[in-house]
Structure 1
Amino acid sequence: MAVVFLLAHFDDEYCALPLILRAQAAGEDCWFLYVADYARPGMAERRLAETVAFLKAYGVPAERVRHVGRGSGVVDREVAAGIPQALAGLRAALAEVPSISEFAVPAWEGGHPDHDSCAAMATMLAAERGGVPVRQFGLYNGRRFPRPFYRACSPIPENGPQMRIPIGAAAWLKWIAAVRFFPSQTWNWLGLWPSMFMTFAQRGGFACQTLEPARIAERPHAGRLHYEWMFQTPYAVVRQAVDAALADEGGDQSAGRARIRKKPASIRT
């Protein structure tokens, strides 16, 4: 059996470490599939190498780490617009995974449009496999926080009950130190890293939630979403792309792609 981590970006796996350790303790293989490509190939290669090194430190072989978005045109911050292509790449990669026990995915929380797009795709792919569970883990969100502030790794109540995953003191210390594997993202981790471990300290550790398919039909939370001001991507763009992909799953693929292309001219992605 295997747990498939369906992720947008290299280093997203850092925030899911307790889920990785939980799967390994249960004797399950972990596979990591990344859907976002990068405008600069050199950056993609560097970030992939960082992720491979991090996962190797936790016993994950490099052959189970796949950049399915490489060369797909589904670039960072624009995964929503490329959901059909991303799904095709994911399905091809998943054909090599013998038996899937669950998916793990960034939470449907309004933090980054790529994260929410991955959450939506995970529910579609899970349904194709008989409804295997989808576990969502928080990366960051701005729920009830004034910009530019956010909470890292903080489950939102809209996503349902929390499941806590305990890890030992030595594992915590190793996790804290493992941020060193991502030097290309130092600037981003300067904000995320202290926020995530502050969240864990305040909330008594790491928690994830089950992502129910019906949740994808709802706005992540009331009020302005973090990515709406941070990346200037309105929720309507993500909503339209997800709805189009769901329509495609029902067979109306040409209509779905047409709807994705009809973005408002003022939207910057």
Structure 2
Amino acid sequence: MKPSSIFLMAHQDDEFGVFHQIEHELKAGRWVRCVYVTDGAATADSDRRDLESRAVLQTLGVATTDILFVGRQLSIGDGQLHQHVGVFADWLDGFFNDHSTLQSCFVPAWEGGHPDHDLLHAIAVELLTTRATSVTVRQYSLYNARNCKGPFFRVLSPLPENGPVEQQPIAWRDRLRYIRLCLSYPSQWKTWLGLFPFVGGHYLCHGVQRLQDVNRQRLDQPPHQQPLYYERRGFLDWPTMQKAIAELQQKLSGLNPP
């Protein structure tokens, strides 16, 4: 079988952070799987959100059978991944066992934007660290509130705390195509009122896909020093995040004793 790549996403529409990388992996001849880890139901009906993201991924070239809405199968609610870290870790461990050709794993960045993003990052990084594997793990930024005040946030802006940034240039034709794809989520129109100007501005002004390596030691500290965006919004606090990660580490140490 040909080499494969997996894109892990917490919610339907998180693919906007890796439009270019998904197409890059496909053009390189790799088998691309896209996995959604929660049901996405906090802001709209799950069926509707599934249809929207499925249509976008199909436009990018991902096969329908390679789009997996695992969060719905495992009953992981949007914003509730911290209550299901063990359940998803078991699923992901099984996935890795069944896919020996896996070469690359792309995960949301450790950046304090949404708790589901950070927990998904932690699960993937902790799990792959405990395995004897050569899978390359890269993180992609979605949004964070570093150096922002009040309700403001940054979009597609990797944290310098996460290390060097790899930038892949995106052709103008593809930049405009990706901007149009951002209009493909009508169920999320309220969210995209805030996102679209910044995502569109990124493609027009910068036009790059940004990725960073991951570092397990980063999980021991908040993504950045200022109040995290999800704390400002009252979604989750840092002590609860720490507790969920500690439970994950304890579970994985039991599954993979030294």
Structure 1 stretch 123-132 or stretch 63-72: which is displaced more?
Answer: 123-132
TM-score (norm 2): 0.91
What does residue 31 of structure 1 align with? 33
Give the whole-Å Cα distance in 2 for the aligned partners of 1:96 and 1:82.
22
Task: Report the equivalent of 2:174.
Answer: 171
Partner in structure 1 of residue 55 of structure 2 = 53
Q: Does the CA-based 8 Å contact 1:84-1:245 persist in structure 2?
A: yes
* Aligned with 1:239 (options 242, 246, 249): 242
Residue 151 (structure 2) pairs with residue 143 (structure 1)? no
Residue from 118, 126, 129 that aligns with 2:128:
126
TM (norm. structure 1) is 0.87
Q: How many angstroms does 1:96 deviate by?
A: 4.6
Alignment partners' CA distance in 2, 1:37 and 1:175: 24
CA separation in 1, counterparts of 2:115 and 2:190? 20
Unaligned runs of 5+ in 1: 254-269
Alignment partners' CA distance in 2, 1:144 and 1:12: 23
Corresponding residue number in structure 2 for 1:185: 188
Matches within 5 A, 1:1-269: 1-38=3-40, 43-127=45-129, 128=131, 130-201=133-204, 203=206, 205-251=208-254
Aligned to 2:60, the other structure's residue is in SS state coil
| Secondary structure, aligned partner of 2:183 | helix
Unpaired segments ≥5 residues, structure 2: none
Q: Distance in 2 between matches of 1:166 and 1:129?
A: 33
Question: CA, structure 1 residues 173+203, in 2 after alignment: closer, same or farther (shift >3 Å)?
Answer: closer
Q: Deviations over 1:175-215 (max 9, x none)?
A: 00012221111111111121123345555633111112222
Contact kept in structure 1, 2:170 and 2:207, CA below 8 Å: no
CA distance in structure 1 between the aligned counterparts of 2:248 and 2:25, rounded to whole angstroms: 30
SS in 1 for 2:182: helix
* Identity within the alignment, %: 32
Q: CA deviation at 1:98?
A: 4.2
Q: CA deviation at 1:71?
A: 4.1
| Residues 4-48 of structure 1: per-residue CA shift (max 9 Å, x gap) | 0111101101221121122122211211111112558x8111111
From the superposition, tell whether residues 45 and 78 of structure 1 become closer, same or farther in structure 2 (CA, over 3 Å): same
Query: What's the CA shift for 1:69?
Result: 1.4
Equivalenced residues, count: 252
1:59 deviates by 1.0
Give the distance between the partners of 1:129 and 1:100, measured in 2 at CA. Answer: 13
Cα deviation, residue 160, structure 1: 0.3
Deviation at 1:129, TM superposition (A): 5.1
Once the two structures are superposed, residues 206-238 of structure 1 have per-residue CA deviations (whole angstroms, 9 ceiling, x without a partner) of: 311111222222210002000001134111111
Instruction: Indicate the larger mover: 118-127 or 241-250.
Output: 118-127
